[in-house]
Structure 1
Amino acid sequence: MSTDAAQSGETTQIEVTEIAAEQALDLLESEDLDPGVAGLRLFVQQGGCAGLSYGMRFDDEPESDDTVFTHHELRVFVDPASMNYIEGSVVDYETGLQGAGFHVDNPNVVSECGCGESFRT
């Protein structure tokens, strides 16, 4: 069963900045996905030199056991296993000399690899 934590009054465990939500919603719409149903899946996978890495993709709808967060009209889907690693994180969109992209600020990280692509909790 999915829950919409941001709308049910529960403590929000994943946040999304306004600029990140705007960028993701633009991408969702360019993929012809309905932002009222579809959303950004944020997950953790094995890999990278530090052991774990973030993954993001668009899904048509949440899975039955996902937690669903809504920020700035963007729905974010997180599976239970990934939530253990990324609870309390903030998803942001950054621009700079090395390019632009989504960034996860995770308070649970104890070390990151040099390139910032993988982490350990």
Structure 2
Amino acid sequence: MFAIPGTSPVTITPAAERQIARLMTGKNAFGLRIGLKKGGCAGMEYTMDLVEAPNANEEVIEQGAARVLIAPMAQMYLFGTEIDYVTDLLESGFKFRNPNVTDACGCGESVRFEPLEGSRAG
């Protein structure tokens, strides 16, 4: 993991913690896996899946009754992200405040990251 010892790679707000715990209990899940996949107009989309068990090399963050698993390929992109759950008059859902994002689409469904230093843009 791309982490600083003693520091959580992501933070979870109390609202997100409650919602994750509620989802886990409703589906009898081990936790909520967060990852990234190619897609959307900005290039990458967040993925979220309730899972029964962790996979090898996943980072597991526990906070209260909530458990978040970070897929290995997403770890470097999610470091420093705050996960929140927002409810307003028109919609409710998880929001990612990610300092690594360099651009996002207008609807907020996809994001872009700068190429990692030393990697080739594809």
TM-score w.r.t. the length of structure 1 is 0.85
The answer to whether structure 1 residue 21 and structure 2 residue 17 are counterparts is yes
SS in 1 for 2:76: helix
The answer to whether structure 1 residue 112 and structure 2 residue 108 are counterparts is no
1:89 counterpart letter in structure 2: T
Report the Cα distance in structure 1 between the residues aligned to 2:86 and 2:100, rounded to whole angstroms. 20
Q: 4+ runs of 1 displaced by more than 2 Å? A: none
Question: Which residue is equivalent to 2:82?
Answer: 90
2:6 counterpart letter in structure 1: E
Out of 95, 99, 114, the position equivalent to 1:103 is 95
Question: Which residue is equivalent to 1:79?
Answer: 71
Tell me the matched-pair count: 111
Report the Cα distance in structure 2 between the residues aligned to 1:77 and 1:55, rounded to whole angstroms. 11
Question: Which residue is equivalent to 1:58?
Answer: 50
SS in 2 for 1:110: strand
Question: Which residue is equivalent to 1:67?
Answer: 59
Instruction: Give unmatched runs, 5+ long, in structure 2.
Output: 114-122
Report the Cα distance in structure 2 between the residues aligned to 1:32 and 1:22, rounded to whole angstroms. 15
2:8 counterpart letter in structure 1: T
Instruction: Give unmatched runs, 5+ long, in structure 1.
Output: none
Identical-pair percentage: 36
Question: Which residue is equivalent to 2:117?
Answer: none
TM-score w.r.t. the length of structure 2 is 0.84
Question: Which residue is equivalent to 2:119?
Answer: none
